[in-house]
Amino acid sequence: MKKPEPMASTVEPLTKKELRSKILMKLKRQKEEDRKQKSRLIKEKLLKDSNFKKAKKIMFYIAMDGEVETREMIETAKQLGKIIAVPVCVKNRASLRPAMLDSHAHLKKGPYGVFEPVTSRFIGLKDLDLVIAPGVAFDKQGNRLGRGKGYYDRFLSKIPKDTPSIGLAYNLQILPVVPTTIHDVSVKKVIFA
């Protein structure tokens, strides 16, 4: 009697929503000491990056929910004489605007719980020399999976094409492939540890 043929595996790839949920759970489970150590390693790599060294005006993000910690990076960049901006969420336009982050800036929680300056002095998109972007997940080609609202995709699509963009991530956020659509915008480089 002939053995039945094994059934072909039809495992569906995870949807963006499922991937996002899975990675966010891993980020929450990551030990704080590991997060701090890896953030320092990522900071060291960023400081050595040629785009960072050349940049005078840099847009960082302020970390939330287990993201790569950026506060030390921001302070070091300020000490190096760089002008720092952080995104301010303009909810009614579903967009981000880079706002100056002065040394004495007071921060408040924005529409999605992300800290942003209370008073905003904006920097033009063409004036940015480098954009540091968060992401839930990245692949080594620079494709990024955000939080699902599309704010960074819209923002990255509006900056000049020659403006460098760098995603920061922990190893656990690096995937072989991040699923993309025509609306997704990749970063030019990913720094991870």
Per residue in 92-140, pLDDT tens? 777 999 999 987 788 988 888 888 998 889 999 999 999 999 999 999 9
Q: Which tokens in the block code for residue 171? A: 């190893």
∠ CA 14-34-37, nearest 5°, is 120
What would the pLDDT profile of 163-174 be if each residue is shown by its tens digit? 999 999 999 999
Q: Which residues contact 111 (CB under 8 A, 6 or more apart)?
A: 89, 91
The pTM of this model reads 0.90
What would the pLDDT profile of 67-104 be if each residue is shown by its tens digit? 999 999 999 999 999 999 999 998 777 799 999 998 77
Q: Which tokens in the block code for residue 137? A: 């997940």
Q: What is the amino acid identity at position 82?
A: K
For the domain spanning 16-192, the CATH number is 3.40.50.10420
What CA–CA distance (Å, rounded) separates 176 from 178?
7
